[in-house]
Amino acid sequence: MVDWLRRLLCIAAVLTMSTSAYAESEPIGYVKTHAGAAFVVTGGETLEAFPGLSLHESDHIRTGEDGQLGLTLLDNTVMSVGPNADLVLEEYLFRPGEGDLGLGVRLLRGTLQFISGVIAKLRPEAVKVRTTTGTIGVRGTRFLVRAED
């Protein structure tokens, strides 16, 4: 009986460790709107996007031919991701009381409309949108960018 219980506890520990990185990371935002084929790849798992789905640092956002997503981050940054897009949420720091601010995304392909939030207002140089050909430093409040393969 004791041996069986030990085995069960070991299996439970292994299963818990495989999802602990995702569960322990704090959400940085959420999916606000969704249309068509759209997915969030998080912790090695591909999830079909839906309104309210939590977003985490290092998540990949992918949309299909008919896919579109509206994303809202904790600092009220709003991103609209168009069809056939691949976007990586590379960095997110939002602790304004401690002066820790940073936002970095990488658009590998597709279109992205970006409306800046609190991070860009408090520290514009801390916001970067990277593409395959360059980096956009955010100094305004709204822009549209397109990246091609």
* Tens-level pLDDT at each residue, the chain (149 residues): 544 444 434 344 433 443 434 446 899 999 999 999 999 999 999 999 999 999 999 999 999 999 999 999 999 999 999 999 999 999 999 999 999 999 999 999 999 999 999 999 999 999 999 998 888 877 767 898 999 87
**Is 7 part of a structural domain of the chain?**
no
Domain that holds residue 57: 26-147
- Is 100 within a domain? yes
Q: Say if pTM beats, i.e. exceeds, 0.85.
A: no
pLDDT reported for residue 134: 84
- For 84, which DSSP code? T
Residue 40 lies in a domain: yes
Determine, yes or no, domain membership for 18. Answer: no
- Sequential DSSP letters for 13-70: HHHHHHHHHHHHSPP-EEEEEEESSEEEEETTEEEE--TT-EE-TT-EEEE-TT-EEE
State the amino acid at position 71 in one-letter form.
Answer: L
